[in-house]
Structure 1
Amino acid sequence: MSETPTDQRTDERGSVTDPAPDAAPNPRATEAEVRAAYDDPKLANVLYHDWEADTYDEKWSISYDDRCVDYAVGRFHYAAGVPAKPFERALELGCGTGFFLLNLMQGGIAKKGSVTDLSPGMVQVALRNAENLGLDVDGRVGDAERIPYPDDSFDLVVGHAVLHHIPDVEAAMREVLRVLKPGGRFVFAGDPTRVGDFYARRLGRATWWLTTRITRLPALSSWRRPQQELDESSRAAALEAVVDLHTFVPSELERTARAAGAVRVHARTEEFTAALLGWPVRTFEAAVPREKLGFGWAMFAYRSWLRLSWLDSHLRNWLPRDLFYNVLVTGRKAARRDPE
């Protein structure tokens, strides 16, 4: 069988099934490939995330220093508490560039790691980041609904901003429980709530519309990104409508995890005022030349996020959890002594 442009195995309709083990990144999808992806969310995820892989860390201000180590460890502790000791072996599902797992490993949460993603480009970058950090990590291109690791392989499975990309979340949860050892834990963070996605997307679209029009003024022309880059961003944004498959109601996400067989399941939420600022900020950054935004802007954005996150940590004692933007969910695979 001939290979598709993304080196993925396909069924008789051309839909992505299991990724080929030697799948190569495809960072420059053609218009024809993008059109085909509209009918295949898994292919769309490959194309979209291969396109983003080499610039993803820069786009989202991801680093592997104290700032992001503290963030990742903080998300883990907020969702699951403080572990009694480091987990021996951890997997990041839908790893992207490895942001969550690599920073958790640096923060002492896990000792040895594995990464898997449907996007070959993301796995490649994640492994490169791990090597640069001197971390013990292996990786495989793989589908979250058919995780390419044996039963009872991991003490911990984590993911960040991944569940909303997976067509069948319950099937993925069953796979997570399969590869976890009895008593093992999962922690997923960074996925959008239904209410949060409603206001975040509208803020983002309004910011993009306003910025791209204001920068057409002659006096602000140097703030306008080249048209080719804007066209690429627009094409990626169009695919985003395909790869973003779900938003979540926290109570429904808990039920999904329990239906898959998880025990001790609990969902928490975070970021309300921080999201109201964060989405316009990130959209503005995507709409203007990067060289226009220096260290001062980065510090403004980061410190503002810290202050608003502090405010949100108090507001969540008073506001419904469904109102916040990010949902985090944790649970365990039943140990032999646990009730079904």
Structure 2
Amino acid sequence: MTRDPAPNPHATEEQVQAAYQDPKLANVLYHDWEADTYDEKWSISYDQRCIDYAVDRFRVATGGTGPYPTALELGCGTGFFLLNLMQGGVIERGSVTDLSPGMVEVAKRNAKSLGLDVDGRVSDAERIPYDDNSFDIVVGHAVLHHIPDVPAAMREVLRVLKPGGRFVFAGDPTRVGDLYARKLGQLTWWLTTNVTKLSPLSAWRRPQEELDESSRAAALEAVVDLHTFDPAKLEGMALGAGAVDVRAVTEEFSAALFGWPVRTFEAAVPREKLGFGWGMFAYRTWQRLAKFDQDVLSKVLPRDLFYNVLVTGSKPADPERL
């Protein structure tokens, strides 16, 4: 077996400049750089809060919760989706892949600390390094929008699935949702970083070097985010790859309108200024709004207006249909 490359969390200026012309290199550099702090940045945990979140996303997409004996997480990041699904009893044994060596390393480390049976490989989503018919399910969270050729990745997903196996991808941005989330984030960043220049609020301003680092990260993040999705077109990609029983659903409208400014504000002020009380307020408010979106707004608003899209489908039980 070819040895996986080592993480590179300290890219050179030359590498960063090259990444602006190479989205796969940008993904490797950005996610290697983020790997050790990614869970903290996105409030990812492996306790009941995130177990419930992951299992609920799976249930929203599929209507069920398994269990599935073997699973692959594509573009695993730190293992958030797979590891919490395993803890929630949806998946029994798992494998992870990511283009970023740093992310694969952290995902495997997280799995080990949780006592979960997980192996990992550094790989391109368009060339998955596992044999045909290997997995009962393939999952991914916030990954499809990073992949240059999504239809090719879908074909690979179907190749490694067993006949009748299922895929579930969650957490990718819709075209409309991404538009308002980015605008809200940009406005919140501008307001917060400028208001905290005022003397009475200077204690709320993060050190300039940290703000500069965040700005550089945001600039590279714009390179790694390659797609937004119309739900119907995403369904078409999956069907075109040969999937059956395909369905896309969306979620988070009021929750996204609240969540993106909050998340941006948190990134723009010193962490020590926001304590446990703030964290619980932000999480519980987002949680209530997400439930309102699901129970009420999803019944009256077009699905294209919501921020997140989830898509699921299956490999035909008859391989000849692929």
CA distance in structure 1 between the aligned counterparts of 2:320 and 2:85, rounded to whole angstroms? 27
> Does the alignment pair 1:147 with 2:138?
no
> Does the alignment pair 1:126 with 2:116?
no
Residue in structure 1 matched with residue 38 of structure 2 by the alignment: 56
> Does the alignment pair 1:165 with 2:146?
yes
CA distance in structure 1 between the aligned counterparts of 2:270 and 2:135, rounded to whole angstroms? 42
How far residue 118 of structure 1 moved from its aligned partner, in angstroms, is 0.2
- Report the secondary structure of 2:170's partner residue: strand
Deviations 1:163-214 (A, max 9, x none): 0000000000000001100000000000000000010000000000011111
Aligned length: 320
Residue in structure 2 matched with residue 301 of structure 1 by the alignment: 282
CA distance in structure 1 between the aligned counterparts of 2:172 and 2:186, rounded to whole angstroms? 19
CA distance in structure 2 between the aligned counterparts of 1:184 and 1:228, rounded to whole angstroms? 48
Residue in structure 2 matched with residue 325 of structure 1 by the alignment: 307
CA distance in structure 1 between the aligned counterparts of 2:104 and 2:203, rounded to whole angstroms? 35
Task: Report if the CA contact (8 A) 2:163-2:319 is conserved.
Answer: no
> Does the alignment pair 1:137 with 2:96?
no
- Report the secondary structure of 1:329's partner residue: strand
Residue in structure 1 matched with residue 270 of structure 2 by the alignment: 289
Residue in structure 1 matched with residue 82 of structure 2 by the alignment: 101
> Does the alignment pair 1:42 with 2:3?
no
Residue in structure 2 matched with residue 260 of structure 1 by the alignment: 241
- Report the secondary structure of 2:299's partner residue: coil
Aligned match for 1:236, one of 217, 240, 244: 217
Q: Tell me the C-alpha RMSD between the 2 structures.
A: 1.2
TM-score (norm 1): 0.92
Residue in structure 1 matched with residue 62 of structure 2 by the alignment: 80
Task: Report if the CA contact (8 A) 1:170-1:257 is conserved.
Answer: yes
CA distance in structure 1 between the aligned counterparts of 2:256 and 2:10, rounded to whole angstroms? 31
CA distance in structure 1 between the aligned counterparts of 2:103 and 2:264, rounded to whole angstroms? 22
After TM superposition, the structure 1 stretch with the greater mean CA deviation from structure 2, 66-75 or 30-39, is 30-39
Gaps of 5+ in 1: 1-19
- Report the secondary structure of 2:260's partner residue: helix
CA distance in structure 2 between the aligned counterparts of 1:49 and 1:143, rounded to whole angstroms? 14
Gaps of 5+ in 2: none
TM-score (norm 2): 0.97
Deviations 1:43-93 (A, max 9, x none): 00001111111111011100001000000000000001114x410100000
Residue in structure 2 matched with residue 5 of structure 1 by the alignment: none
Identity fraction in percent: 77
CA distance in structure 2 between the aligned counterparts of 1:50 and 1:224, rounded to whole angstroms? 27
CA distance in structure 2 between the aligned counterparts of 1:220 and 1:126, rounded to whole angstroms? 39
